[in-house]
A = this chain, B = another copy of it.
Amino acid sequence: MRLYNSPVSGNCYKVRLLCAQLGIPLELIDLDVVDRSNRPQLIGDLNPALRVPTIVLDDGRPLPESNAIIDHLAEGTPYMPADSYERAQVLAWQFFEQYEIEPNLAVMRFFKLFGISPSEEGEASRRSAGTRALQALERGLTDRTFLVAERYSVADISLYGYTHVAHEGGFDITPYPAIRGWIERVAAQPGHIRIDD
Contacts and interface: CB of A to CB of B under 8 A. Distances in A.
Tell me if A's interface is mostly helix, strand, loop or mixed: helix
A7 interface: no
Contacts of A175: none
Nearest to A96: B49
Nearest to A137: B48
A139 B46 CA distance: 11
A156 B121 CA distance: 35
A61 B100 CA distance: 23
A87 B133 CA distance: 28
Contacts of A72: 84-85, 87-88, 91
A96 B103 CA distance: 13
Nearest to A138: B48
